């Protein structure tokens, strides 16, 4: 269940475009926005490493809470997420050898099922810039609703017939809601996530819920009590070191020439992205070929 909690949080933290991307319809602007999203993810991930927070996860089966876990979440120096269990309450197993054996087997089956479900939901994080671009190229944008939020909806994002919708506030450029309707092993799966904002303007998932109605399984995650520990002030030692001889500096390129070169390179890459999408629409290349080639081109824009 710990991994499932991390997956639900990852979907909310990594998923989606700021509101500026939701307002763009042209292929050129969409490609540029996909690159901006990839860069924003890097910045967001770096900022998140400064925080610790508490996470509460509940596993509900047939209307009964089977597991409740509270964890302290933080990042290790290598960037790996670390979860320290503070409290873990399992539903008691029935008395009797046979009944206990049946219950243990059911628990293992549920664990296996949740692991597979986790793998499906992870794909909705759109983990690469190419996946983000593909979603944005075919998604439908809807104007502000009663709450003032703009939405972007895509179909067939991961599996045929699925739906991914993102709501964002165009004024603050912050994501407010994410909703996924998909299928796993023939069963409908729904994911809903809502967001809150820290004083540092970092947007995080405050609540997420994944449900499988046919199996009466629900996983709920709440993230709260975010804090940023104070960093120790490094001790400095003044050491007089003679300055090295300055090497001969190469003449810097003219700013206007450098900007023009960068703009020309970006325009050429965006043109190639449009040509790729046209080939895909005409059935001249496969979806796998499009994903691989578009990912390479988007990485060129990021550099």
Host H or E run for residue 44: helix 27-48
Give the span between the Cα atoms of 270 and 272, in whole angstroms.
5
How do the pLDDT tens digits run along the chain, 303 residues long? 444 444 444 444 444 433 334 444 455 566 666 666 667 767 777 788 889 999 998 989 889 888 888 999 998 888 788 889 898 777 665 566 555 555 577 778 888 888 888 888 888 877 776 777 788 788 888 888 888 898 889 999 999 999 999 888 888 777 889 999 999 999 999 999 998 888 888 888 899 999 999 999 999 999 999 998 776 555 555 555 556 555 555 555 555 555 555 556 666 777 777 777 777 777 778 877 777 777 777 666 655
- Work out the burial of residue 83: count CB atoms within 10 Å of its CB; fewer than 13 is exposed, 13-18 middle, 19 or more buried: middle
Distances (CA, A) of 126 to 38, 123, 129, 203: 10, 6, 8, 18
Q: Which residue has the tokens 């023009």?
A: 260
| Cβ atoms within 10 Å, residue 24 | 16
Both structure tokens of 122 = 């992870």
Cut 0.75: pTM above it: no
- Convert 143-172 to b/e letters by CB count within 10 Å (16 or more is b): eeeeeebbbbbbeebbeeebebbbbbbbee
Rg of the chain in Å (alpha carbons):
24
> Is 287 in contact with 160 (CB distance < 8 Å)?
no
User: How large is the angle between the packed helices 255-281 and 27-48, nearest 10 degrees?
Assistant: 110
For residue 252, CA distances in Å to 144, 205, 244, 259, 260 come to: 47, 45, 21, 13, 15
């Amino acid at each position: 269940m710990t991994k499932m909690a991390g997956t639900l949080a990852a979907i909310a933290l990594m998923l989606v475009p700021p509101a500026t991307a939701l307002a763009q319809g042209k292929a050129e602007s969409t490609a540029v926005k996909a690159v901006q999203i990839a860069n924003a993810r890097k910045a967001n991930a770096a900022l998140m490493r400064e925080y610790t927070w508490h996470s509460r996860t509940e596993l509900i089966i047939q209307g009964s809470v089977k597991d409740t876990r509270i964890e302290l979440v933080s990042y290790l120096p290598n960037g790996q997420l670390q979860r320290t269990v503070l409290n873990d309450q399992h539903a008691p197993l029935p008395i009797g050898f046979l009944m206990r054996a049946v219950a243990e087997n059911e628990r293992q089956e549920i664990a296996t099922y949740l692991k597979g479900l986790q793998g499906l939901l992870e794909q909705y994080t759109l983990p690469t810039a190419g996946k983000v671009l593909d979603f944005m190229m075919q998604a439908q944008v809807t104007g502000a609703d009663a709450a003032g939020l703009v939405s972007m909806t895509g179909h067939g994002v991961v599996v045929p017939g699925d739906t991914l919708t993102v709501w964002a506030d165009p004024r603050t450029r912050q994501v407010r809601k994410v909703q996924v309707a998909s299928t796993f092993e023939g069963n409908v799966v729904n994911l809903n996530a809502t967001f809150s904002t820290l004083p540092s303007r970092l947007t995080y998932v405050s609540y997420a819920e994944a449900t499988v109605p046919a199996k009466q399984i629900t996983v709920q995650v709440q993230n709260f009590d975010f804090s940023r520990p104070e960093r120790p002030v490094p001790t400095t030692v003044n050491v007089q070191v003679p300055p090295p001889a300055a090497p001969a500096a190469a003449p810097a390129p003219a700013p206007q020439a450098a900007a023009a070169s960068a703009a020309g390179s970006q325009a050429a890459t965006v043109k190639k992205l449009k040509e790729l999408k046209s080939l895909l629409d005409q059935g001249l290349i496969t979806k796998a070929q499009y994903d691989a080639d578009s990912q390479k081109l988007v990485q060129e824009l990021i550099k």
